[in-house]
Structure 1
Amino acid sequence: MMTTGLLPEGFHDRLPPHADAAAAVEARVLEAARLHGYERVDPPLAEHADGLSSRLKDGALTDAVRFVDPVSQRTLAIRPDMTAQIARIAATRMGHHPRPVRLSYAGPVLRLRADQLAPAREWRQIGCELIGRDSVAAAAEVVGVAVESLSAAGASGLSIDFTLPDLVETLAAGPLPVAADQIEPLRSALDAKDAGAVATLAPAYLPLVEAAGPFDAAVARLRAFDAKGVLASRLDALSAIAVSLGDRVALTLDPTERHGFEYQSWLGFSLFVAGASREVGRGGTYMIVGAEGEEPATGFSLYADAIVATAGAVERRRLFLPPGTPVADGAAMRAAGWVTVAALEADDTPQAQLCTHLWKDGVAQPV
């Protein structure tokens, strides 16, 4: 029976050369992380839904595809994000390990639904988690590893947008009290930069609507707003992280950004590269739930497909080996980094094998 080859909405095949390019991005990111001491773990695609949802503080499984396991009759969930699985491994299988634990990972994730800006429901997620610390030093290390990983993957024009996910709670519990039932509406209004709603809910928070922008100017505005110094430690921490990055990356600050940072604590950040219409990764500090209570952590996640998409046309460099080419010649060229494609028939051609070069007279010649 003939099939159409159509895939469900939000799914797509990764074809050559893009699948190779995405795999190369993944390998380079993981190698950059390994050089900083992050060791790889590989959790399963699905887990018990209740266990997966319990590992991150405030971490719900609203985006998870669930199904009943025919063996155990328990509800399983296909991971929509790998961070909760790393939290489980750190809290259980590696609970005895001295802190901090540095772990890296890569694998597919599946989401129940997508949004208009990111219509894919299946992604290949790559990341690092530093379990046991959410200090300034830990955050600076993780942000630095994220930057090095993107550079190793071939990305350019790097920029980071920082946010302070617990900003409203911190102010509401101190100098700018807000009724408990008004905190979530206020956070949503600030996230949407809805000055009218903010003015109705809590006029004292209006300066935060204009506080976003280039890093130095935004920090200065926040310091001026923070007359009682409640935010001083957070702003000092952000400045220390910025200093650690030097001039390798452009920095901005949007202190009230909340979308995508629902379970982060004092720090969140989005990663951007040249050519990308939206972020290619996110990270921050958060709390995991273990056998002995909550534990701090810091990490980031990247998406290989989003990084590859910024490269435009993916380069192919394939060397065609005509019939009769000595085996040693092909081996030498592969050792030199070439992809070789050997002719299997006498009438085979470089064009038919999508080759960019031809091995002729001992030289790789452009086709």
Structure 2
Amino acid sequence: MVMPRWALPEHFEDVLPAEAQRMERLRRVLLDEFRLHGFQLVIPPSVEHMDALASGTGHDMDDSTWKFVDRISGRTLGLRADMTPQMTRIDAHVLNRRGVTRLCYAGAVVHTMPRSMTASREPLQIGAELFGHAGIEADVEVLRLVARSLQLAGARTVRIDIGHMGLFRALASHAGLDAAAEEVLYAILQAKDVPALREFVAARPAAAVLLPLPGLYGGADVLVRAMGELPDVPAVRDALGELLHLAKHLPDLPLSFDLADLRGYHYHTGIVFAAYSGRSPAAVALGGRYNEVGKAFGRARPATGFSMDLRDLIRLGQEALPAGAVLAPCEGDAVLQAAVAALRTQGEIVMSELPGHAGSWREAGCDRRLEWKDGAWRVVPLGE
């Protein structure tokens, strides 16, 4: 079957006027909120050298990225699939600040394959990253900003699932697993395949320290239980201590803990999280700590942050549709022009009524018109 020229590739879509208006409004609201918390906006290019885009992220990012050859340099370029590596490059190599740096961003990313059957291959990613502070306080700040962002978007936050990559790595190291065995174990835990985990442990008895992980899911009480079920070694204590800190300092957020959650295994180094809304089975915000990514740019810095897809947020939000537009005569004296200017200053959309289009203005969004009545220009319902 020959596809028509106007058909888009699968999992790509246009954003039409009503949705685009809501999306742009939310983008501005979120970026303004980030600014109030000290996060500075940066706008990286959509294309970079592939070795920069994939640095520190493992093969996951490499598989997700569209690649092509630069006709100028002959090097392989990539169309970004995620903006976080770009933030890391900017912090480590371009800004090169000594202290804490807060950066935020908003822009399209492109994936070679959709993340789910209903996902777009061109998410409109918005997010914030905090560099330069290794302490748990930075993770607390980021989680609060996630919750605030979802509140502003009108997306009811049902829960924020939290895991810790450092805990898994500490247990794998304690069990003496090599890199290959750790990869196998990672896949088993991601699939929540308990029978496969038991088979894995049967072949490697030292890995029995990881058997409790799939069952350690729930509220803060899970962390107390984990302290009794997992080995009492410094790295494990440190990871559980960070999770307990979150539970203590974020009592108002709907936190849950999943110690077998290895989201971002090739990328994250500490706390990882995913926020869920009641109207979507998929996570609406993802984030966590990734202290090692900057090493590829010559400067490893502590880092934590999160990202969201504006497309998902506006579909989950409860924002009311904006008022329609006002139709005004396209020509008039200074009094008419002053009336139009005043309406626009108040935030009203005012369209000029170009000749020859009578009866078509409602489809453009007009629900009122500007008419001369009782010695003044007044807004009246369209058609009155």
TM-score range, shorter chain: 0.7 to 0.9
Question: Structure 1 pair 365/218, CA: closer, same or farther in 2 (3 Å)?
Answer: farther
With structure 2 as the length reference, what TM-score do the two structures score?
A: 0.84
Shift of 1:87: 1.1
Kindly, what percent of the aligned residue pairs are identical? 30
- Does the CA contact (< 8 Å) of 1:11 and 1:121 recur in 2? yes
SS in 1 for 2:38: coil
Letter in 2 for 1:28: V
**Aligned counterpart, 2:150:** 150
Write out aligned runs for 1:292-307 (5 A). 292-307=298-313
- Does the CA contact (< 8 Å) of 1:317 and 1:357 recur in 2? no
- Does the CA contact (< 8 Å) of 1:165 and 1:262 recur in 2? no
SS in 1 for 2:133: coil
**Aligned counterpart, 2:100:** 100
Write out aligned runs for 1:78-93 (5 A). 78-93=79-94
Match of 1:279 among 268, 280, 283: 283
State the superposition RMSD in angstroms: 2.8
Write out aligned runs for 1:143-292 (5 A). 143-157=143-157, 159-174=159-174, 176-178=175-177, 180-202=179-201, 203-213=208-218, 215-226=219-230, 228=232, 230=234, 231-247=236-252, 249-286=253-290, 287=292, 288-289=294-295, 292=298
Shift of 1:204: 4.0
SS in 2 for 1:76: strand
- Does the CA contact (< 8 Å) of 1:190 and 1:256 recur in 2? yes
Letter in 2 for 1:212: Y
Letter in 2 for 1:33: F
Question: Structure 1 pair 309/352, CA: closer, same or farther in 2 (3 Å)?
Answer: closer
SS in 2 for 1:7: coil
Q: Which has the higher helix share?
A: 2
Q: Which moved more, 1:290-299 or 1:16-25?
A: 290-299
Whole-Å separation in 2 of the counterparts to 1:58 and 1:130: 24
Whole-Å separation in 1 of the counterparts to 2:93 and 2:275: 30
Write out aligned runs for 1:3-14 (5 A). 4-14=5-15
**Aligned counterpart, 1:120:** 120
- Does the CA contact (< 8 Å) of 2:328 and 2:340 recur in 1? no
Q: Which string of whole-angstrom CA distances, capped at 9 and with x for unpartnered residues, describes residues 70-102 of structure 1?
A: 11111111111111111111111112x122211
Q: Which runs of 5+ in 1 are unaligned?
A: none
Write out aligned runs for 1:329-344 (5 A). 329-344=339-354
Letter in 2 for 1:205: L
Shift of 1:253: 1.5
Question: Structure 1 pair 105/319, CA: closer, same or farther in 2 (3 Å)?
Answer: same
Whole-Å separation in 1 of the counterparts to 2:83 and 2:119: 19
**Aligned counterpart, 1:28:** 29
Question: Structure 1 pair 265/220, CA: closer, same or farther in 2 (3 Å)?
Answer: same
Whole-Å separation in 1 of the counterparts to 2:249 and 2:158: 15
Q: Which moved more, 1:124-133 or 1:332-341?
A: 332-341
Whole-Å separation in 1 of the counterparts to 2:5 and 2:173: 58
SS in 2 for 1:258: coil
**Aligned counterpart, 1:76:** 77
Q: Which moved more, 1:152-161 or 1:193-202?
A: 152-161
Shift of 1:307: 0.4
Letter in 2 for 1:239: L
Question: Structure 1 pair 239/334, CA: closer, same or farther in 2 (3 Å)?
Answer: farther
Give yes or no for the alignment of 1:326 onto 2:336.
Answer: yes
Shift of 1:350: 5.4
Q: Which string of whole-angstrom CA distances, capped at 9 and with x for unpartnered residues, describes residues 167-225 of structure 1?
A: 22211223x44455322222221221111011111244332111112x22332332332
Whole-Å separation in 2 of the counterparts to 1:364 and 1:153: 32
Whole-Å separation in 2 of the counterparts to 1:282 and 1:22: 19
Whole-Å separation in 2 of the counterparts to 1:244 and 1:84: 29
Give the paired residue count: 362
**Aligned counterpart, 1:310:** 316
SS in 2 for 1:299: strand
- Does the CA contact (< 8 Å) of 2:104 and 2:129 recur in 1? yes
Shift of 1:57: 7.1
SS in 1 for 2:288: strand
Letter in 2 for 1:328: A
Question: Structure 1 pair 118/262, CA: closer, same or farther in 2 (3 Å)?
Answer: farther
Question: Structure 1 pair 117/217, CA: closer, same or farther in 2 (3 Å)?
Answer: farther
Q: Which string of whole-angstrom CA distances, capped at 9 and with x for unpartnered residues, describes residues 109-153 of structure 1?
A: 111112434532111111111122232011111112222222233
Q: Which moved more, 1:49-58 or 1:121-130?
A: 49-58
- Does the CA contact (< 8 Å) of 2:328 and 2:350 recur in 1? no
Whole-Å separation in 2 of the counterparts to 1:69 and 1:136: 41
SS in 1 for 2:94: coil
With structure 1 as the length reference, what TM-score do the two structures score?
A: 0.88
Whole-Å separation in 1 of the counterparts to 2:221 and 2:88: 36
- Does the CA contact (< 8 Å) of 1:163 and 1:269 recur in 2? yes
Whole-Å separation in 2 of the counterparts to 1:220 and 1:356: 59
- Does the CA contact (< 8 Å) of 2:43 and 2:106 recur in 1? yes
Shift of 1:277: 2.8
Q: Which string of whole-angstrom CA distances, capped at 9 and with x for unpartnered residues, describes residues 223-252 of structure 1?
A: 3323525433222322322343342x3111
